[in-house]
Amino acid sequence: MPPGLRHYLVVTSGYWAFTLTDGAIRMLVLLYFYLQGYSPLQVAMLFLFYEFFGVVTNLVGGWIGARIGLNRTMHIGMGLQVIALVMLAVPASWLSITYVMLVQALSGIAKDLNKMSAKASIKSFLPQQADSQLFKWVAILTGSKNALKGGGFFVGAVLLEWFGFQSSLLVLATLLFLVLVLTFWLLPSEIGKSKQKPKFRQIFSTSVAINRLSAARLFLFAARDVWFVVGLPLFLYSVLGWSFTQVGSFLALWVIGYGIVQTIAPGLLRHSHQGRGPDGHTALLWGAVLILSPLLMALALTHDLPANMVVIAGLTLFGILFAINSAVHSYLVVAWSDEDKAAMNVGFYYMANAAGRLTGTVLSGWVYQVHGLSGCLWWSTAFILIATLISIRLPDNQRPLIS
C-alpha cells in the first residue's frame, strides 16, 4: 500500500474513533442534564465553553500544528478527550454547571485539535494538482466523520438508557485511549510540519478567498446548530414524546445519512459540472437552494401541519442540501491552500466554523425556550441567506479535475 494512502487510512480511523466519542458525549450530556431538570437554555450553556474554546483552538491550532507537526496535535487532542471523559465520570454530586462547562471546554479543545489535524494532513499525503483525489479524500473523511458522529448520538443515547451516565463515559475513555496508542505507533511524527517556522501573527489568513469562505462557513453552521443542537432533540423528547433511544436513533440516522451524502458529493458535483471542480459559484448555488429547507419547515410548523411529518421530511431535505454545501466548503479551503500553509488556513477556517457553532448553540437554547422550534428555523433561514450573500464574492475559478 502506498505510504500516502496508508497514512490517510490511519488518520481517518483515528478520526472516526474520536468522532464516535464526541457524538456520544453530546447526547449523554444533553439528555442526562435535561433529565435532572435543567431548562433548554441551561442545557445550551453547558456547551458554551465547548464551542468557545473550539474557536480559540482553531485560531491557534493551525499555527501549533505547522510548528510541531499535525500528528502531535492530533494525539494531543485524543489525550485531552480521554481526560474529559474520565472527568465527567465522577459522582453526580460533583457535576455542577461550572464543572461540566469546564470539562466541555477541554473536550472542545480536543475535538478541534483532532479535526484540524486530520483534515489539514490530507494535503501532505497527495502530490500537487491531484484535485480529483483530494476532493474524494476530503469528502470521504468529512462524510464518514459525520456518519460516525451520528453513530455516536445513537451510542450515547443507548448507553445512557442501559448503563447510566458514569459507566458509559468510562467505556468510551478506554476505547479512545487504545486508539490513541495504536495511531501514535503507526504515523510518522513530521506530518504537516512547516518547512519554515510560522510567526504567531500569521495565524490570521491573508487570503481574501479563505476569509470570505470562512465568513460564509460561520453563518452556514450557525444555521444548522441554531435548531439542531438543543431545540430539535428537546422538541422530539418533550413535545413529540419520543424516548431517549428514539431521539438518539433518529438523530443518528440523520447524521449518518448526511455523512453518506457528503461522501458521494464528488460524484454528484462531477456530473453536474461536466467533470470540473467546485468553486465559489458552486458554493453560491447550493447555498441558495439550502434556504428553502428551513423556510418551508418554519412555514409548515407555523400553519400547524403534522409535526412528525414536517420534522422527518424537512430534516431529510435539509440533510442532503447541507451535506453538499459542507462538502464543497471543506474541499475549497484545502484546495485554495498551499501545502505549507494548509494547517494554518484550515485552522483559521475551522475557527470560523466553531464560531458559527457557538452562535448557533447559544441561540438554540434561548430561541427554543422563547419561540419554540419554528423560531429556531426562522433564525436558520436568515443565517443561510447571509452565508449565500457572502458567497457571491467567492472566486469563480474552476479547473479540470485531475484523475
pLDDT in tens, 92-123: 888 888 888 899 889 888 888 887 777 776 66
Mean pLDDT, the chain, whole residue set: 80
Q: What region does 388 belong to: left with phi over 0, alpha with psi -120 to 50, or beta? A: alpha
Distance CA 375, CA 382 (A): 11
Higher-scoring residue by pLDDT: 207, 77? 77
- Residue 312 scores a pLDDT above 70: yes
Question: CA-based diameter of the chain, in Å?
Answer: 60
pLDDT at 62: 67
- Residue 43 scores a pLDDT above 60: yes
Per-residue pLDDT of 196-210, as tens digits, reads 555 555 555 567 788
Burial 96-105 (b: 16+ CB within 10 A, else e): eeeebbebbb
Distance CA 334, CA 116 (A): 11
Q: Please say whether the structural domain 3-191+199-391 has been given the CATH code 3.30.365.10.
A: no
Per-residue pLDDT of 223-249, as tens digits, reads 999 988 888 888 888 888 888 778 878
User: Among 355, 51, 362, 123, which Cα is nearest to 216's?
Assistant: 355
Average pLDDT over every residue of 284-298:
92
